[in-house]
Structure 1
Amino acid sequence: MGAENPETAKPNAEGATYEDNAAEAANEAAEASEAQQAVEAELEKFKQLAEENATRTLRAQADFDNFRRRTLKEKEEFAKYASQKLIEQLLPVVDNFERALATSKETKDYDALAKGVEMIFRQLDGVLSNEGLQRMEAVGTPFNPEFHQAIMQVESEEHEEGIVVEEVQKGYMLKEKVLRPAMVKVSS
């Protein structure tokens, strides 16, 4: 070993030399450096995790936006063509009306025209019934403002008060919903 520096070889108050203190400080610095590297490595790991989560969030948001746009488009498309089925069922009725009008112009047989129009009416009524349209029966029933629109009160000896005595315009229901209330005269 070489010559020692007399100042570094002197023990301090605890009995350690300056060389011991320097070595201990170097060890502490190395441990602090390792701890800092471990913290930095963990910090980097969490940064990557945060970036991955941000990317996932952006993808999920983009997927949701695409889903919302697609759903809105489908909804608009459905609303645009919702009546297609009904119109397809009504086209034969229109065809029959055209045939009846053309035939009546040629033959002038109004009895045959009336019979044809009656048949077409039954065909139209069948199409509408298949779609859930029902006529309301109003005459003889108690007045109900949910189903009836009173346009007049009339004196009636054969009906008690509040009973529909005459139907001026038919009322219709579409499945369970009132489509048009019946216009009625009610006994007073």
Structure 2
Amino acid sequence: MTKQETPMEETKETLEEEIQKQENSTENLSQEVEKQIKELEEKTKEYESLLLRKAADFDNFRKRARQEKEQLSDMVAEKVIKDFLPIWDNLERALEAANQKKDFDGLMQGIISTQDLFLSLFGKYEVKKIDSIGKEFDPKIHEGLQIVEGDYEKQVVIGELEKVFMLKDKVMRLGRVMIGKPRKKEEAANHSEEKQESEKN
């Protein structure tokens, strides 16, 4: 005859089974979490390694770019200097000839020839020399050094210390100029009267 389990024993057994299931489930969950943590750690290491490689690549790229920029700058400087050497040679020859022969006309001819070489070279590099005398003063391309009031209708350039130079459409150097400015109305009226008086006399 089989011994029947009491309700208390059944409850205890059921409870033990449930506890065992929970323990198994917790253990499985713990193993799964550990597995995910390990995977995340491995991915983190991969990303760190990738980041270090990218940083090294960028640093190398920056160094190469700087070297290439310096090389390009040196090449441009060398090309420009080579283009200027014939002008230097021409100027030296003119000065030497003038010194030996005391020939002022020869010196002037040498200087004019040198100036022509400069203008030819400016054309090669698309550099323009702007003549400003008689033109309206423009603060975008002119720097006024002196202002002279006179019989002018507007502000005009009446003298140049240094000419304006443009590279294509960009101002390379402002022209340093003397500006002629219209007299104030009262001064203009007085000047007109003085002029008329002097003409009568």
Q: Same fold (TM over 0.5)?
A: yes
Is 1:64 aligned with 2:58?
Answer: yes
Secondary structure at the counterpart of residue 179 of structure 2: strand
Unaligned runs of 5+ in 1: 1-5
- 1:133 and 1:177 map into 2 onto residues whose CA distance is 10
Residue from 158, 165, 173 that aligns with 1:173: 165
Is 1:130 aligned with 2:124?
Answer: yes
- 2:127 and 2:176 map into 1 onto residues whose CA distance is 14
Unaligned runs of 5+ in 2: 183-201
**TM-score using structure 1 length:** 0.76
Secondary structure at the counterpart of residue 16 of structure 1: helix
- 2:145 and 2:137 map into 1 onto residues whose CA distance is 8
Which deviates the most, 47-56 or 68-77? 68-77
Which deviates the most, 130-139 or 91-100? 130-139
- 1:94 and 1:124 map into 2 onto residues whose CA distance is 10
Amino acid across the alignment from 1:11: T
Which deviates the most, 103-112 or 35-44? 103-112
Instruction: Output the aligned Cα RMSD.
Output: 2.9
Is 1:155 aligned with 2:150?
Answer: yes
* Residue deviations 1:74-103 (CA, integer Å, cap 9, x gap): 444445564322211101111122222333
Is 1:93 aligned with 2:87?
Answer: yes
**Structure with a larger share of its residues in helix:** 2
- 2:156 and 2:15 map into 1 onto residues whose CA distance is 112
- 2:174 and 2:44 map into 1 onto residues whose CA distance is 60
Distance 1:100 1:140, change over 3 A: closer
Alignment of 1:1-188 (within 5 A): 10-13=5-8, 16=10, 18=12, 21-79=15-73, 82-148=76-142, 149-156=144-151, 159-164=152-157, 166-175=158-167, 176-188=170-182
Secondary structure at the counterpart of residue 102 of structure 1: helix
Amino acid across the alignment from 1:172: V
- 2:16 and 2:160 map into 1 onto residues whose CA distance is 112
**TM-score using structure 2 length:** 0.72
Distance 1:182 1:20, change over 3 A: closer
- 2:114 and 2:28 map into 1 onto residues whose CA distance is 94
* Residue deviations 1:18-60 (CA, integer Å, cap 9, x gap): 5554444334323322222122112211111111112112222
Give the conservation status (yes or no) of the 8 Å contact 1:146–1:181. no
- 1:46 and 1:54 map into 2 onto residues whose CA distance is 12
Q: CA deviation at 1:138?
A: 1.7
Q: How many residue pairs get matched?
A: 178
Distance 1:174 1:161, change over 3 A: closer
